Amino acid sequence: MLLRAQKTIKASAFNTYWMLEKQHIVSMRDFTREDVTFILDYAERMFPFARTGIELLQHKILALLFFEPSTRTQLSFDSAMKRLGGSTLSLSSEDSSILKGETITDTVKVVEGYADAIVLRHSREGAARMASEISNVPIINAGDGAGHHPTQTLLDLYTIRRESHLENLDIALLGDLKYGRTAHSLAYALNMFDANIALVAPDGLQMPSHIVDTLDSVTVTDNIDDVIHEVDVLYVTRIQKERFPDPNEYLRVAKSYRIYRSMLQGARDDLIILHPLPRVDEIATDVDQTKHAKYFQQAFYGIPVRMALLSIVMDKLL
């Protein structure tokens, strides 16, 4: 269990909480439902400070090691750290000694001397787990290949709880469920909350069976029309072009699904549509103006959630 270090009772804000001590955030599988609920509640406490800031992590430094492209995860961690009064160091593969052949292991061992926590995005599945085994400061997985993206999942859950509900949830995950790490992490987490999950993917891009087999209430289909009128949340993902070993295989499935405004007729009135972004063409822009579209709000919620996580891993609680 991730939040295993120290079970502490704090008299003030919470009845019970788990304080992390040099702990890592690698996979949703390391969390319990109780852990997740604590983090979401704590993110709610951070929410008022997501724009104004709060001096909680002065003199703390966060290293952002992004060896794959990112807009939201990198900038929102950067913003979250600065909103907490801390500072950041950034490194990408283009401007690091990785280009000279330095290993990720050596890079982490060096950067742990420069920062109080490390956010790592890497193309190799398992990279964050490996880094967590050798690092003396917390490693936060910002996406490891087609593996996991736990902080995205926590902000997805936060969005669902704020904009819809987590109890008795009917949700469809649509898109590239084979390579989409956000969908993998989210499926594990939703199962903790007893959600009814519809997995909707083109032929060849369904969720790996080792994940499907862990889900308690699941429907598998290739047709969004089967489920779009029966869900509270439609979670859309892009096809992960960069993960296809064979470009022809990508071309076979490219543009195989797209959500249009007209498809939402007959949907539940309070349906919300989420997307981890970036969007390519899987949601038509005319959906953006509907009351259902919550994906830009979802991206903003990355700030309070990541403020909460940084505060927890750096052991400076509000």
Instruction: Specify whether 161 is catalytic.
Output: no
Whole-angstrom distance, CA of residue 260 vs CA of residue 303: 29
**ω into residue 138 within 30 of 0, thus cis?**
no
What is the β-pairing status of strands 272-274 and 61-66? unpaired
Using DSSP's 3-state secondary structure scheme, residue 311 falls into helix
297 is a site residue for ligand CP (CB under 6 A): no
Quick one: 56 or 147, whose CB is closer to ligand CP?
A: 147
Catalytic entry in 73, 151, 159, 182? 73
Q: Which of 164, 216, 229, 224 is nearest to 190 (CA)?
A: 216
Quick one: 73 or 141, whose CB is closer to ligand CP?
A: 73
* Phi, psi dihedrals of residue 283, rounded to the nearest 5°: -130, 120
Instruction: Specify whether 100 is catalytic.
Output: yes
81's enclosing H/E stretch is: helix 72-83
Instruction: Specify whether 306 is catalytic.
Output: no
88 is a site residue for ligand CP (CB under 6 A): no
Q: Which residues pair with 173 in a beta bridge?
A: 199, 235
Quick one: 238 or 292, whose CB is closer to ligand CP?
A: 238
Quick one: 283 or 317, whose CB is closer to ligand CP?
A: 283
Q: Which residue has the tokens 């736990």?
A: 150
Tell me the closest approach of the beta carbon of residue 55 to ligand CP, in angstroms: 27
Stretch that binds ligand CP, among 169-177, 214-222, 273-281, 287-295 (CB under 6 A): 273-281
Distance of CA 46 to the CA centre of its chain: 18
Tell me the closest approach of the beta carbon of residue 100 to ligand CP, in angstroms: 26
Instruction: Specify whether 121 is catalytic.
Output: yes
Question: For residue 46, which amino acid is it?
Answer: M
Question: For ligand CP, which residue of 48, 278, 285, 290 counts as binding (CB under 6 A)?
Answer: 278
Catalytic entry in 24, 60, 83, 121? 121
Q: Which two tokens stand for residue 44?
A: 């709610």
Angle 156-223-259 from CA coordinates, rounded to 5°? 55
Catalytic entry in 52, 59, 100, 210? 100
Catalytic entry in 60, 83, 149, 292? 149
276 is a site residue for ligand CP (CB under 6 A): yes
240 is a site residue for ligand CP (CB under 6 A): no
277 is a site residue for ligand CP (CB under 6 A): yes
Q: Are 159 and 301 in contact (CB under 8 A)?
A: yes
175 is a site residue for ligand CP (CB under 6 A): no
145 is a site residue for ligand CP (CB under 6 A): no
Whole-angstrom distance, CA of residue 59 vs CA of residue 61: 7
Instruction: Specify whether 165 is catalytic.
Output: no
262, exposed or middle or buried, with CB in 10 Å at 0-12, 13-18, 19+?
exposed
152 is a site residue for ligand CP (CB under 6 A): yes
Quick one: 23 or 70, whose CB is closer to ligand CP?
A: 70
Question: For ligand CP, which residue of 22, 29, 45, 72 counts as binding (CB under 6 A)?
Answer: 72
Binding site for ligand CP (CB under 6 A): 70-73, 143, 152, 276-278
The residues annotated as belonging to the active site are 72-73, 100, 121, 149
